[in-house]
Every structure is written in structure tokens, then in C-alpha cells.
Amino acid sequence: MLYRLLSCVTRKATASAFYRLPALIMKPQVYFVLGGPGAGKGTQCAKIVEKYGYTHLSAGDLLRAERGRPGSEFGELIENYIRDGKIVPVEITISLLQRAMEETMKSNEENNKFLIDGFPRNEDNLQGWNRTMDGKADVKSVLFFDCCNEVCIDRCLERGKSSGRSDDNRESLLKRIQTYVQSTKPIIELYEKQGKVHTIDASKTVDDVFAHVQKIFDKEG
Ligand code: ADP
Ligand code: C5P
Ligand code: MG
């Protein structure tokens, strides 16, 4: 199979591209990062980036950036979904993720290790990923930052004192938690059945949580 792929690629490759062969067959290697709002996904991703050289793509951050982009046709829709704690239609999110992955790999094709944070958050997200990325990226596994709803809410309310986020308030948070329980948990359970989930106790201190994360990455790369 690999031989067939290689010979096919070689036939198509020009002489100058030959030396880039390993990069040509490099696919994005992806960890999905999930957990309730405020579980510490972003905090831990930053530490993984620093130590293991991954690229962190937060679906929420990408949506907020698109919301704020002058002339964006989706700005208002995104803001309404975010404030209501609902999940934006996947066509928007996946195109932002895809573009960000392409941009990252364009500068250096070997930058193919990604943490995709806050995705897939519901069935629509998952189906959109499968439709668009099937065969184009490898999902290595899911990092599930497990934290009870009360701690998640407290952390977001604390973050809300300085984040400026329109959804770090009690009203939005109750909706976000509901979305998490009703729509995201079943996705985590689906991956669990495939033996693809690392469950991490995210209620501990940042350093203790990262100690667990390091055990995973030291083993898996
Ligand atoms: P998420 O990306 O999952 O929404 P963040 O990483 O933004 O979560 O963290 C939410 C808030 O909680 C931030 O203010 C962050 O500083 C804080 N925080 C993150 N991890 C911990 C932790 N393990 N213990 C206490 N506070 C934390
Ligand atoms: O992950 P984060 O807390 O930054 O997400 C904030 C909000 O962005 C979510 O509550 C949701 O409204 C939106 N979002 C989404 N689809 C995703 C990720 C985030 O609609 N896959
Ligand atoms: Mg976050």
C-alpha cells in the first residue's frame, strides 16, 4: 500500500520535488481537545505547544477572530451563537480550521502536529470533519479535560473579570454547560468506545494537570 502510494507520488513528482517526498506524504496529525467551558483546555494547550511543538488551533478563538473581521458576513451570526452557548454551523468552523492548518503547513510542511481545541463539539461538527477531512488528516486521539460543572462555571466567571468575552457570564454559562452535556459529551463517549480518549482530571492544579498531559505526550510524541 505504502509502496503503491510512493510510486504514484514519485511518478507525479518532478525531479526537484523528489527531495520533498517525505513532506508530500505528511498529513496533519491531530489531537482533539475537549472538556467543559473553563476546564483548562487553552491553558494546557499553551503548555503543550511550548514543550512539544504543536500548533494550537482553538475553534472558539478562530470564530471570535472571524466575528471581529471587518466585512465578515458571519460576524453577527457567530456572536449570537456564542452568547447563546450554541454551536456554530460546521461549514463556518471547518473552513476556518482548514485554512489555519493550510497556512501553518504552507510555511513549513513539517509543522503538521495540531491541537484542535473545542472541536468537534456536536454531531454536526463531527460529520463536517468526516466529510471534509476524512483521509486528509489523522486523528491520533482525544484529550478530554474532565472537570465538574461547578468548577468550570467558577473558573469562567473568574476569567470573565478580565476576558472581555460576551459569554463568560452566568446566563451564557448555563447555556454553554447545557450544550456541553447534551451535545459534546456524546461525542466524547463515541470516541471513548473507539478507545481513543485520554481522560485527564482537570480539577487539579495547572501543574498537576500538565504532569498527566506530559505522561501522554512523552509516550505518544
Ligand atoms: P478553556 O479553554 O477550557 O475554556 P481556560 O484554559 O481558558 O479554559 O481556563 C479557564 C480559566 O481557568 C482561566 O482563567 C485559567 O487561568 C483558569 N484555569 C485553567 N486551568 C486551571 C486549573 N487547573 N486550576 C485553576 N484554574 C485554572
Ligand atoms: O472553546 P470556547 O469556549 O472558546 O468556545 C466559545 C464558543 O464558541 C462556544 O460556546 C460556541 O458558541 C462557539 N464554538 C462553536 N463551535 C466550536 C467551538 C466553539 O460554535 N466547535
Ligand atoms: Mg478556551
Annotated binding site for CMP: 125
pLDDT tens-digit readout, 108-135: 989 999 999 999 999 999 999 999 999 9
The pLDDT of 6-27, averaged and rounded, is 46
Q: Where are the domains of the chain?
A: 33-220
Taking Cα atoms as reference points, which of 172, 9, 202 lies closest to residue 84?
172
For residue 66, give the 3-state DSSP assignment.
Answer: helix
Q: Which of 41, 43, 153, 180 to mutate to test the pocket of ligand 1 (most atoms within 8 A of CB)?
A: 43
pLDDT tens-digit readout, 141-165: 999 999 999 999 999 999 999 999 9
Continuous segment of H or E residues that includes residue 176: helix 170-179
Classify residue 99 by burial, with Cβ atoms within 10 Å: 0-12, 13-18, 19+: exposed
Tell how strand 113-117 and strand 55-58 pair up. Answer: parallel
Instruction: State which CATH number among 3.30.70.2740, 2.60.40.3880, 3.40.50.300, 3.30.70.20 fits the domain covering 33-220.
Output: 3.40.50.300
- Scan for cell 478562530, then name that residue: 62
Ligand closest to CA 156: 1
Question: Whole-prediction pTM value?
Answer: 0.91
Distance from Cα 107 to the centre of ligand 2, integer Å: 27
What is the C-alpha separation between 1 and 187, in angstroms, rounded?
31
Ion ligand 3: protein residues whose beta carbon lies under 5 Å: 42
